[in-house]
Structure 1
Amino acid sequence: MKVESKKKGTTSSAVFLAVALMAACGGDDGSVTSPLSTTAPLAAAAAPTAVIDAKTLTDTTAPLLIPQAGTRTYSAPVETDSGHEPSNYKPAPVVPKIVPATSDPTGGVLTFERETAPLEGWHAWARNGAAGTHRQVLVTGGSSAAANRIYTVFTKEQLVNAIREARNEPKIIRVVGHIDFRVDGGVFREYTSYDDLKNGGTLFIPSNTTLVGINDANGKPAKISGTQILIGNENANFELDFKAWVAAGKNPDAFPGWTRNVIVRNLAIDVMWDVNPEDSANAYADGICVSWAQNVWIDHITLTDLPTPSSMSSDTRHDGGLDVVRGSDYVTISNSHFTVHGKMSLVGNSDGGRQWSDEGRLHVTFTGNHWEGVNSRTPRVRYGQVHIYNNLVTGDTKPSVANGTLPAGVAPSDVKFESAIGVGFKADILAENNYYNMKTLKPKEVCGKLVVDHGKGVSFRSKGARFLSNKDDAGKPMTATIDVELQGCDGIPVANLWTPPYGYTLKTADDAKAEILANVGAGKL
């Protein structure tokens, strides 16, 4: 390991650390609009002159699995084939006082609600027929919604009924105030069982939807609690139906079960507390789960366990934060704040048994996001071609309330940082110009912490990462900014098999950090 000093302008001395098998080190000195390597082979067809509206790829008559969504059962806890031992039932230790909003601070005037997604990110592409090629699309969500398909909702009932009425038609749903799915008929009632939580706490988002939060008069963002937001769904017969469709020689991307063309923005989301987990290590619900969906843009989201962090219970009561799984494809997550949570961002949820759905899919972009005070997965990847650029990760390997690093007004995280990017089964990752501000993490621990080899990954390419810690390799105090060359960590393969088909502006890690801190999360639109 080579270590040498290097000046950064008029700032204090920094340390330059090469942790890799590669000779090249360092980051960019300015903004560029090119991928990591101009010689890497392209896995994309040239963009067509006319960009396709993602709405045209959807089937507005496709059946929806939403009849029971948001419907409480109030059943008693019972053991199932997958567990959910009744003695493990435990209500959330913090019961929030929910005061729903009663009026729209905008007076119904639309501002950003009809915005379509930018063309920067994997969400703006679709399969072009031939293996490994893509065509450009415009994710419009509900931007073309008719006047009677624009909904302003204050309660769970209004939100669920809007989706049931509009179905797969273009629709804009504007959330105002705080909606908690445990509030039933205006009364807060904790989930009584796994069955009650699974039915009453589910929110399905169908195709051609824009779901947005509307800030209150003081700029406070809208919030959703007590539910898992499902973009797409895989029912019990999905695998058999899809495999039969493919066996019949039909286009897999024309399968009627896909959910497509979804935009979710400017919402604060509390990850659901599982009152009766499957077991001590597996909760049921994610904060947001993208499952069997394509052309999805998730932007300016704030996602957290609060007010019920897992540390309040010896059992696991929270599952993933934002997961992209089960064959999903062409997804971008941008400008979002993920904080106070364990396993935060997952792409691909199984090594074996998912080749039929995941092989050649899971194209995902993460950009402009802040993972703060989380345990792991920023993200962890299986199968996918995933682009992770200009993000910020902050954490502490020895956290305490006293040294929490969250902004004013947000409770400090006591979640121990374990790992950042996970390179899993058949993962092919491009990571560029990300910034890591990690308390108590020694520079020599960067490989194995900032990038983790979970085995059988295809490739991990990286450049331009920056690292700040308050400890040196001996565990003594230091203040130094370090450029880290993560490519080659742990002997993970490096292969230039694809480049992003979209143009993008790549900032230096320092510039990205400053912009993220000023712009990230709900309430900024």
Structure 2
Amino acid sequence: MKSTLFAAGILLASSAHAATINAASLTGPSTPLQTAQYGVRNYSAPVLVDGLHDPASYMAAPALPVWQFASGDPTGGVLTFERQTAPATGWHSWSRKGKVLVTGGSAATANRVYTVYNGQQLVAAINEAGNDAKIIRVIGHIDLRWSENNTVFREYTSYADQKYGGSISIPSNTTLVGINDAQGRPARITGTALLIGGELALTPGGSEETDFKNWIAAGKDGDDYPTWTRNVIVRNLVIDTPWDVNPEDSANAYADGVTVSRAQNIYLDHITMSDGDTPESMATGTFKTRHDGALDVVRGSDYVTISNSVFNKHHKTTLVGNGDSGRAWSDEGRLHVTFSGNWWDGATTRLPLNRYGQVHLFNNLITGSVSTTNADIKFASGTDARYRSNMLLENNYYNITGLKLSEFCGKAIKGKDFIGFRSSGHIFTSDKAGTNAVDGQCGYALPAAANLWTPPYLYALQTATSTLTAVPAAAGAGKLK
């Protein structure tokens, strides 16, 4: 039985009552650890890799941040929000088996609660705990280019050094949170990619695609495929997307700030993401693309929520699904993702770009400018519904300087080759158009009945106008204490 409720003038949508599954119980003993190869520097020299990553493209990061290293815990180790489970609003709280409670590491025993101040401590905590429930509290500034207790700095020396030595793999049943330091500053991660999951074959040397297809052909449940990473909570962190010292080619970099890949039941909340101190404009020469995605959800990942977060000063902000027909084997019917309470402010594209995903965006704030001369923050495109995607956009607020109302469709909202697109209840303002309510459907036909869907989870839908003040007040790192 489904119901629609009204409370204080706010619409609430709810689904049938059902037993709730603890996401930790979905992590089987065969779930692999994908951590060992990551977080260890090799300092290798630049070389061509499959004809890519030309050594001539090598360029160290042209600027470094003002470091905010910490050595003490202003909380005295007292836990507050760290043991919180994820709320019941968002696709993360669902699965094909029914309702799910994403617990992350909330049940961690005392010896699985870690407080870390540098990259090596973070990697060590992950490797020690494995898939056990664990809480990892970050204080200060993490960057894997620093070693020996943040006293020795060495830039990444090559693509291989950065890919493996500059990435941290987060396993199942993890809560990773930032703790504000003694000066009240949120914890920050720079020069380091966070990986949640990875696409693996069943056996070393096997084929990821062939093994998964064979699993499905044998009539087995894809959700039971052994290589999923599950049940992860990441909150309250500033993440600077890595500068790629040795990119693939002139148009493509490698490392994302956060990559969710073959992962399920993932909750990402109160994160602030940007290019930090190394925006794309600092790139010189032929190889001018030095950042990839900020936060991408790819390779068949499923049941993910991104909430109360801030994205600014970045191109290629978020992909949901990273390929068209060649990825149908992993992505068709997956990539259920919710975006709510987020603020895209000076993020230039992909807010998000969606292939295959059944994506719900509600009560987000999008601000920017098409007339600024600063290419690092110039708005180029917003939500982009692409191949086989099915999207529901509700009550978002857009303020885009220089954009006319007649240009809203095709710039802030656009799409092609999708199977479903519904968009309504938005507000658009600019210095050109004034205040305008826009239905946001942008001339696209409503989906066929077979492609209509309703979010199965409870959510409170506020008016678009309310997001203009509510989102900046709540979104981003440092707001949880």
Per the alignment, in what secondary structure is the counterpart of residue 34 of structure 1?
A: strand
For 1:218 and 1:482, the matched residues in 2 are separated by 42
Where does structure 1 lack aligned partners over 5 or more consecutive residues? 1-28, 36-43, 129-134, 402-412, 473-479
Corresponding position: 1:486 with 2:440: yes
The residue aligned with 1:138 is 101
Per the alignment, in what secondary structure is the counterpart of residue 341 of structure 1?
A: coil
Query: Which stretch of the first structure deviates more once superposed, 64-73 or 491-500?
Result: 491-500
Corresponding position: 1:296 with 2:254: no
For 2:163 and 2:190, the matched residues in 1 are separated by 14
Per the alignment, in what secondary structure is the counterpart of residue 151 of structure 1?
A: strand
Corresponding position: 1:91 with 2:60: yes
> Does the CA-based 8 Å contact 1:461-1:495 persist in structure 2?
no
Whichever residue aligns with residue 291 of structure 2, its letter is H
Taking CA–CA contacts closer than 8 Å with sequence separation of 6 or more, which of the two structures ends up with the larger relative contact order? 1
The residue aligned with 1:78 is 47
Q: CA deviation at 1:115?
A: 0.1
For 1:521 and 1:214, the matched residues in 2 are separated by 13
For 1:495 and 1:428, the matched residues in 2 are separated by 11
For 2:313 and 2:436, the matched residues in 1 are separated by 26
Whichever residue aligns with residue 220 of structure 1, its letter is R
Question: Which of structure 1's runs of 4+ aligned residues deviate more than 6 A?
Answer: none
Q: CA deviation at 1:495?
A: 4.1
The residue aligned with 1:354 is 327
The residue aligned with 1:211 is 176
Q: What per-residue deviation string (whole Å, max 9, x for no partner) do you get for residues 473-515 of structure 1? A: xxxxxxx2110121143x3553461000011100001112211
Q: CA deviation at 1:60?
A: 4.2
Structure 1 residue corresponding to 2:298, chosen from 318, 325, 336: 325
Q: What are the equivalent positions in structure 2 for 1:148-167 lying under 5 Å apart?
A: 148-167=111-130
Q: What per-residue deviation string (whole Å, max 9, x for no partner) do you get for residues 417-440 of structure 1? A: 111110100111000000001000
Whichever residue aligns with residue 306 of structure 1, its letter is G
The residue aligned with 2:361 is 388
Structure 1 residue corresponding to 2:428, chosen from 444, 467, 477: 467
Query: Which stretch of the first structure deviates more once superposed, 366-375 or 413-422?
Result: 413-422
Per the alignment, in what secondary structure is the counterpart of residue 72 of structure 1?
A: coil
> Does the CA-based 8 Å contact 2:312-2:377 persist in structure 1?
no
For 2:64 and 2:431, the matched residues in 1 are separated by 37
Corresponding position: 1:379 with 2:352: yes
The residue aligned with 1:449 is 411
Taking a change above 3 Å as real, the CA distance of residues 495 and 249 of structure 1, as seen in their structure-2 partners, is closer
For 1:495 and 1:371, the matched residues in 2 are separated by 31
Q: CA deviation at 1:33?
A: 1.1
Per the alignment, in what secondary structure is the counterpart of residue 108 of structure 1?
A: coil
For 1:492 and 1:417, the matched residues in 2 are separated by 26
Structure 1 residue corresponding to 2:281, chosen from 311, 323, 326: 311
Per the alignment, in what secondary structure is the counterpart of residue 422 of structure 1?
A: strand
Per the alignment, in what secondary structure is the counterpart of residue 78 of structure 2?
A: coil
Q: CA deviation at 1:85?
A: 0.6
Whichever residue aligns with residue 101 of structure 2, its letter is L
Whichever residue aligns with residue 319 of structure 1, its letter is D
The higher radius of gyration belongs to 1
Q: What are the equivalent positions in structure 2 for 1:197-346 lying under 5 Å apart?
A: 197-235=162-200, 237-314=207-284, 315-346=288-319
For 1:106 and 1:205, the matched residues in 2 are separated by 24
Whichever residue aligns with residue 22 of structure 2, its letter is D
> Does the CA-based 8 Å contact 2:115-2:136 persist in structure 1?
yes
Q: CA deviation at 1:66?
A: 1.3
Whichever residue aligns with residue 320 of structure 2, its letter is V
> Does the CA-based 8 Å contact 1:310-1:317 persist in structure 2?
yes
The residue aligned with 2:136 is 173
Q: CA deviation at 1:343?
A: 0.8
The residue aligned with 2:5 is none
Query: Which stretch of the first structure deviates more once superposed, 73-82 or 84-93?
Result: 73-82
For 1:495 and 1:120, the matched residues in 2 are separated by 26
For 1:227 and 1:452, the matched residues in 2 are separated by 32
Structure 1 residue corresponding to 2:389, chosen from 413, 419, 427: 427
For 2:446 and 2:53, the matched residues in 1 are separated by 40
Q: CA deviation at 1:450?
A: 1.3
Q: What per-residue deviation string (whole Å, max 9, x for no partner) do you get for residues 137-180 of structure 1? A: 10000000011000000111110011111111100000000011
For 1:167 and 1:492, the matched residues in 2 are separated by 48
Q: What per-residue deviation string (whole Å, max 9, x for no partner) do you get for residues 431-459 of structure 1? A: 00000010001111011011112x21011
Corresponding position: 1:501 with 2:456: yes
Corresponding position: 1:518 with 2:470: no
For 1:447 and 1:362, the matched residues in 2 are separated by 25
For 2:68 and 2:11, the matched residues in 1 are separated by 47
Whichever residue aligns with residue 172 of structure 1, its letter is I
Whichever residue aligns with residue 388 of structure 1, its letter is L
Query: Which stretch of the first structure deviates more once superposed, 341-350 or 60-69?
Result: 60-69
For 1:116 and 1:155, the matched residues in 2 are separated by 25
**What do you get for the CA RMSD once the two structures are aligned?**
1.6
Whichever residue aligns with residue 441 of structure 1, its letter is L
The residue aligned with 1:39 is none
> Does the CA-based 8 Å contact 1:457-1:492 persist in structure 2?
no
The residue aligned with 2:3 is none
For 1:339 and 1:82, the matched residues in 2 are separated by 33
Structure 2 residue corresponding to 1:114, chosen from 73, 83, 89: 83
For 1:62 and 1:420, the matched residues in 2 are separated by 36
> Does the CA-based 8 Å contact 1:117-1:297 persist in structure 2?
yes
The residue aligned with 1:14 is none
Number of positions where the alignment pairs a residue of Structure 1 with one of Structure 2: 461
The residue aligned with 2:4 is none
Structure 1 residue corresponding to 2:24, chosen from 41, 52, 55: 55
Whichever residue aligns with residue 104 of structure 1, its letter is D
Q: CA deviation at 1:228?
A: 1.1
For 1:30 and 1:353, the matched residues in 2 are separated by 45
Corresponding position: 1:415 with 2:385: no
Q: CA deviation at 1:218?
A: 2.9
Per the alignment, in what secondary structure is the counterpart of residue 13 of structure 2?
A: coil
Whichever residue aligns with residue 432 of structure 1, its letter is E
Whichever residue aligns with residue 381 of structure 2, its letter is S
Q: What per-residue deviation string (whole Å, max 9, x for no partner) do you get for residues 94-138 of structure 1? A: 02353521111111000000000010111000113xxxxxx1010
Per the alignment, in what secondary structure is the counterpart of residue 374 of structure 1?
A: coil
Q: CA deviation at 1:287?
A: 0.7
Whichever residue aligns with residue 494 of structure 1, its letter is P
Q: CA deviation at 1:217?
A: 2.5
Where does structure 2 lack aligned partners over 5 or more consecutive residues? 1-7, 202-206
> Does the CA-based 8 Å contact 2:314-2:376 persist in structure 1?
no
Q: CA deviation at 1:305?
A: 0.3
Per the alignment, in what secondary structure is the counterpart of residue 218 of structure 1?
A: coil
